[in-house]
Amino acid sequence: MGDTERSFAIITDSTADLPGALAAENGIAVVPLLVSFGDDSFPDGTLTQQQFFARMAAATKLPTTSQPSVGAFTEAYEHALETADEVLSIHISSGLSGTVAAARQAAESFAGQVHVFDSRNLSGGLALQVLDAAHARSAGMNVSDTIARLGKTRDRAKMIVGLDSLENLARGGRIGKVSAFVGSLLDLKVTLTLDEDGKFTPVKRTRGEKAALAHTLDWIEAAMGGAQTGVFAVGHAMSAERARIIRDQIEARFDATDIIMYEAGSVVSTHTGTVWGVAVLPASV
């Protein structure tokens, strides 16, 4: 479907960690967040995982991250509206980032043509919602109906994140309800999910990789709620083998409509360190 045929454009941000080819194939524009090492700033996605982690290991301080500027969203919306009547802008949880606030501020200049949706999720959990919106558009749904559908999709889309350490999350100030896990537990592997407000909340602490991955797979079973069919997103930061193990187990246990494999970007990795993550979207009944 060409740009001129689309009733509305879809925009997300780089924390969706959407592979570039997948975003292009589905007609999704991506506005990058920024990661900064001192005075050196990089749009999210500029550095490879290897380059980013090498820089982070060599740095004396944790890099900082920042949401896109209002101007960056304004520019993206102007460009999108050249070929679409409306824009649906879907972003990382407002409980984790100021991205939604910046998008909403920019949207105020477009007289109701831009609709901002808070995913209350991130990374794969955000990506599955963005792709669901693209599928709705391809099926001929208008923006209002797509937003209504997204509200239900958001409720079904669940994300679990497995961390080797809570150090980055604590140092970056995104610890929230996870603070009870800090301290002597920094050497344990911890799994987190997103609560109804889109903020990190702890799931379980485990000692050892085997136990952590086993727990992740148990969580996937529970998150599917008895459904056998669904869409999955499996990502990682410097943990490719773990992601492959999880993918293989999903293929063995479920009728996966799709399994999206992705690498976590620099912004997400700043706050998580080495990580694996799984998002699930059970098929609607």
Q: What tokens appear for 262 in the block?
A: 């992705």
- Cβ-contact 187, 205 below 8 angstroms: no
What confidence score (pLDDT) does residue 169 get? 66
Q: How confident is the model at residue 158 (pLDDT cuts 50, 70, 90)?
A: very high
Please check whether residues 128 and 204 belong to one and the same domain. Answer: no
Report the distance separating Cα 110 and Cα 40, nearest Å.
33
Residue 85 has what pLDDT?
96
End of a domain among 138, 155, 172? Answer: 155
Q: How far apart are CA 194 and CA 203, in angstroms?
A: 10
Buried/exposed 46-60: b ≥16 CB within 10 Å, e otherwise: ebebeebbebbeeee
Residues 131 and 76 in one domain: yes
Supply the pLDDT for residue 170: 62
pLDDT band at 139 (very low <50, low <70, confident <90, very high): very high
Per-residue pLDDT of 243-278, as tens digits, reads 999 999 999 999 999 999 999 999 999 988 999 999
Q: Is the pLDDT of residue 152 over 50?
A: yes
Phi, psi at 151, each rounded to 5°: -60, -40
| Averaged pLDDT, 145-167 | 93
Q: What is the pLDDT of residues 190-234, one digit of tens each?
A: 889 999 999 988 898 888 889 999 999 999 999 999 999 999 999
Q: What is the mean pLDDT of residues 86-110?
A: 97
The pLDDT of residue 180: 46
Shared-domain flag, residues 36 and 127: yes
Q: Report the CATH number that the domain containing residue 208 is assigned in CATH.
A: 3.30.1180.10
Residue 36 has which token pair?
């900064």
C-beta atoms surrounding 225 within 10 Å: 12
Domain stop point among 155, 176, 203: 155
pLDDT exceeds cutoff 90 at 2: no
Domain boundary among 155, 182, 215: 155
Whether residues 203 and 124 fall in one domain: no
Same domain, yes or no: 271 and 169: yes
- Do 112 and 50 share a structural domain? yes
Domain that holds residue 132: 3-155
Asked if residue 111 has pLDDT above 70, the reply is yes
- Is residue 128 scored above 60 in pLDDT? yes
pLDDT of residue 200: 87
| Whether residue 105 is found in the same domain as residue 61 | yes
Residues 51 and 150 both lie in one domain: yes
Give me the mean pLDDT over the 102-120 stretch. Answer: 98
Candidates 162, 194, 156, 198; CA nearest to 278 is: 162
Report the pLDDT averaged over residues 56-75: 95
- Cβ-contact 229, 198 below 8 angstroms: no
Q: What is the pLDDT of residue 131?
A: 98
Percentage of the chain beyond pLDDT 70 is 90
Based on the fold, state whether residues 163 and 59 are members of the same structural domain. Answer: no
Query: Per-residue pLDDT for 56 more than 50?
Result: yes
In terms of domains, do 11 and 145 share one? yes
Give how far the C-alpha of residue 78 lies from the chain's centroid of Cα atoms, to the nearest Å. Answer: 24
Mean of the per-residue pLDDT values for the chain?
91
- Residues 54, 176, single domain; the answer is no
Clarify whether residues 228 and 217 are in a common domain: yes
Q: Check which CATH number belongs to the domain holding 64 and give it.
A: 3.40.50.10170
Q: Grade residue 7 by pLDDT with cuts at 50, 70 and 90.
A: confident
Q: What is the tally of structural domains in the chain?
A: 2
